[in-house]
Structure 1
Amino acid sequence: MQEDTVDQIIVVSTNNLSAQRATLRTYERVNGKLERKFAPMGAVVGYNGIGQNKREGDGQTPMGTYDMGMAFGTAAPPRGTRSTYQRITSDDYWIDDVNSPDYNQWKRYTGNPSSKWNSFERMNIDLYKYGMVIEYNTNPIVPGHGSAIFLHKWRGSTSPTAGCVAVSETDLVELLKWIDPKKSPTIIITLEDHFMSELDRYR
């Protein structure tokens, strides 16, 4: 994607590669210029921090720049949500079985999931009351390079994730109402010392 076509940017930065706590900043292009949107938000990342060589089950959040995908949740979408929103049911799973052709995809299945996949993540959980897909390892999908990377609700400000980015429910709702697919929303996951140079590519 061309940098000058990106009009909404989320930057998630940590103080070092092993840090579990992060800062989330938001920017929007107004009259051709990037401006800060919300005050910085607290966030958490994977229990093994962030890294450039994400692998399945390593507990890291992938560094890099990614499109923001569809929104989802066990609850109805917050009023004002503009992204495509998938309501979660008890039959929804995200597949992390590296030997399955369904790897890193959302699947709805009414049978016994253990008979179909060796490993899967149930979507119908409280942490996914609201969320958004971070388009990591989605096009193309490389088996074993990591799956189910989302922006979702945190357990708390000191509780890391298995590899996702998580924020408070209040902040997540604000983000869901702000993000506009027409503005090519993008997320940058990086180190605190690097985030300004990463952002400069879009100015």
Structure 2
Amino acid sequence: MKKFFLLLLCFACIVLFPLESLGATLTDHNKLIEKLNQLKKNEQVLIVTTSHSKARSGTLTFYQKEKGKWKKVFSEINVIVGKNGLGKRKERDGKTPIGIYPLGTAFGSGKKPSGVKIPYRQTTKYDYWIDDPSSKDYNKWIHYRGNPYKRWKSFERLNHPLYKYAIVIRYNENPIVKGKGSAVFLHIWSRPSGYTLGCVAMSEQNLLKIMKKLDPKKNPVIVINEKRKLLDTF
């Protein structure tokens, strides 16, 4: 009798707990869909989540609204984020911003890839993104043929190898607050175990896949937060 009870208990652990977990997962998914439905003007959403606020890696899920229903476009994509995790507050804090942001232009050192529908700009050695809070050009893309060291205290060169392909995350705009953070992009990672200085990075293959799927008519946005706090972002 005792053996029978132990076997029954083991069976319950194997069968019932996974079902309970599945139920919780379905509930979370339904709540997420409810939140996505609040985005009346956006029909493409990239969702980036990490396990906790200081994690340097996470996942990206691409949702698209088709015939009134939200569907996953791809399986989850592995990404890396800021070296100090999420929660950007100021320039050079090494964090990726939390929140919902429109996606801006795509750019890269090569010609516009075939199939890309969103605006695309090819970069040169004269293209910079300014992260000098004391400059009137702060958090702007500037094309400049002069000596950048004489014009700005700090800047990023947009023909950098990690920006072979990239997409602007429109963080700290309208208005631009000096010192709040700048130059936040989706771009190519240096390695899967690395980190960024505040951007979201992934493999070149995955970034191109996303870039080609984005449609400006669907007003794509990106949502970034810890997984357990995701629903609070909306």
Q: TM-score range by the shorter chain?
A: over 0.9
1:192 aligns with 2:192: no
Q: 1:135 is matched with which residue: 170, 174, 199?
A: 170
Greater helix share, 1 or 2?
A: 2
Kindly indicate whether residue 157 of structure 2 is the aligned counterpart of residue 119 of structure 1.
no
Aligned to 2:54: 18
Aligned Cα RMSD in Å? Answer: 1.2
Which whole-Å CA distance do the structure 2 matches of 1:97 and 1:76 have between them?
29
State the shift of 1:33 in Å. 1.0
1:154 corresponds to: 189
Higher relative contact order (CA 8 A, sep 6+): 1
Q: 1:86 aligns with which of 113, 117, 121?
A: 121
Q: Which amino acid counterpart does residue 162 of structure 2 have in structure 1?
A: L
State the secondary structure of the residue aligned to 1:173. helix
Displacement of 1:194 after TM fit? 2.9
Q: What is the Cα deviation at residue 198 of structure 1?
A: 5.5
What CA distance in whole angstroms lies between the structure 2 residues aligned with 1:151 and 1:185? 13
Q: 2:200 aligns with which of 141, 165, 183?
A: 165
User: Retained in 2: the 8 A contact 1:83–1:180?
Assistant: yes
Deviation of 1:63 (Å): 0.4
Q: 2:82 aligns with which of 35, 46, 50?
A: 46
Partner secondary structure for residue 50 of structure 1: coil
Task: List alignment gaps of at least 5 residues for structure 1.
Answer: none
2:39 alignment counterpart: 3
Structure with a larger share of its residues in strand: 1
Larger radius of gyration: 2
Divergent runs of 4+, >4 A: none
**Distance in 2, Cα, partners of 1:71 & 1:138:** 17
For 1:131 and 1:56, how far apart are their aligned partners in 2?
Answer: 20
Q: Separation in 2 of the partners of 1:20 and 1:88?
A: 28
SS of 2:162's equivalent in the other structure is: helix
Letter in 2 for 1:66: Y
Match of 2:105 in 1: 70
Between the two proteins, the alignment pairs up a number of residues equal to 197
> How far 1:138 sits from its partner (Å)?
1.8
Percent identical residues: 45
